[in-house]
Amino acid sequence: MSSPIRILLIADTHLGFDLPFRPRIQRRRRGPDFFENYERALRPALEHEVDLVIHGGDVFFRSRIPMALVEMAMKPLIRVAEGCVPVFIVPGNHERSRIPLQLWTRHPKIHIFDRPRTFQHIVGDTSIALSGFPFTRRIRDVFQKLVERTGHKEVNADVRFLCIHQVVEGAQVGAINYTFRRGPDIIRGKDIPGAFNAVLAGHIHRRQVLTHDLQNLPLAAPVIYPGSVDRTSFAERNEEKGYVVVEFNHSTTLGKQQEIFYKPLPTRPMIMLRLETNGRSARDVERWLRERFSELDQDAVVQVKPIGPVSDQILQILSASNLRALAPPSMNVSLSFSSRQRRG
């Protein structure tokens, strides 16, 4: 009987988020949180608890970043690769432009899906084929052609995975459970090929496993989204974040069995404060904010959302510098201000 194959799947690490290299204002930044969870997620690979690592894309938070940030992101992956655990990276929409991903390919155990292609890897007596391609806009009409261009049919393997950074219909995001249905950037469920044991995907920040299409028909292969390693917006404030370990058993006696283990990561609480301004003076607003901040977790990420008219005096209380002064230095505080907010 073959030993199980264990694959660590992470995605949407968004390194560099709120991490300026030359900050104009000294305050607590969220950027270190993303790096800490990135390294926590890679720990099973560093401790040789998995056989390979797949990053489902959006390593970085945007496409134009300083080289120093690229080097910071490379170091943990190089440590993994030097421990003889291969790393496979799907370039996401944030890596499709100016990120010098070719630097990473200099290590023989770091592999980039820089074009439609298939990599092979052997674990024990089991051969694995990993097929994939970079993030592609207007994917709906070209998805099947791109899968064909990976050359997966020409490779003999016991286990096959498709690695993508795309949206598949039925995926959900946000506080209102928005469901992706139709559009040029959405893959149809019926187009998921049956040649693969699973689709390992990034781009959707909420962890989920898709097994059926919008007509409730079973997909030819499950689509596994590990989600992002930390919360990038308040739309994700109630979502648990983490990574996934996919364990696959392949043997002639048991057939093929797959298990998905979700591994949560620590995240700071995200709290939205709805500030009713009607009938409140600037002094009332300041007192209200002090009281609310004192009641909250001192480590929270807080967004203040005014509801109602905002006078010039209240606007001064809500300035970024004043909010930082009112809140504990360990908090991150921001203001959500509607472009149509009425002024008193």
Note the pLDDT tens digit of each residue in 290-303: 999 999 999 999 99
Predicted confidence at residue 251, as pLDDT, reads: 61
CA distance 243 to 229: 7
pLDDT digits (tens, 9 = 90+) for 59-68: 999 888 888 8
Buried residues in 134-166 as b, exposed as e (16+ CB within 10 A): bbbeebbeebeebbeebebeebebbbbbbbbbb
Q: The pTM is what?
A: 0.93
Instruction: Provide the 3-class DSSP secondary structure of residue 314.
Output: helix
CA distance 163 to 148: 13
Which band of pLDDT confidence, cut at 50, 70 and 90, is reported for residue 25?
confident
Superfamily name with CATH number, domain 5-265: Metallo-dependent phosphatases (3.60.21.10)
Q: List the domain boundaries for the chain.
A: 5-265, 270-335
pLDDT digits (tens, 9 = 90+) for 210-264: 999 999 999 999 999 999 999 999 999 999 999 999 998 876 444 467 899 999 9
| Assigned token pair, 244 | 């996934």
Quick check: 7 and 54 in contact, CB under 8 A? yes
CA distance 131 to 199: 10
pLDDT digits (tens, 9 = 90+) for 144-175: 999 999 999 999 999 999 999 999 999 999 98
Place of tokens 């996919």: 246
- Distances, alpha carbon 168 to alpha carbons 146, 151, 165, 298, in Å: 15, 22, 10, 38
Which band of pLDDT confidence, cut at 50, 70 and 90, is reported for residue 337?
confident
Please name every residue paired with 48 in a beta bridge, in sequence order, or none if there are none: none
Which band of pLDDT confidence, cut at 50, 70 and 90, is reported for residue 341?
low
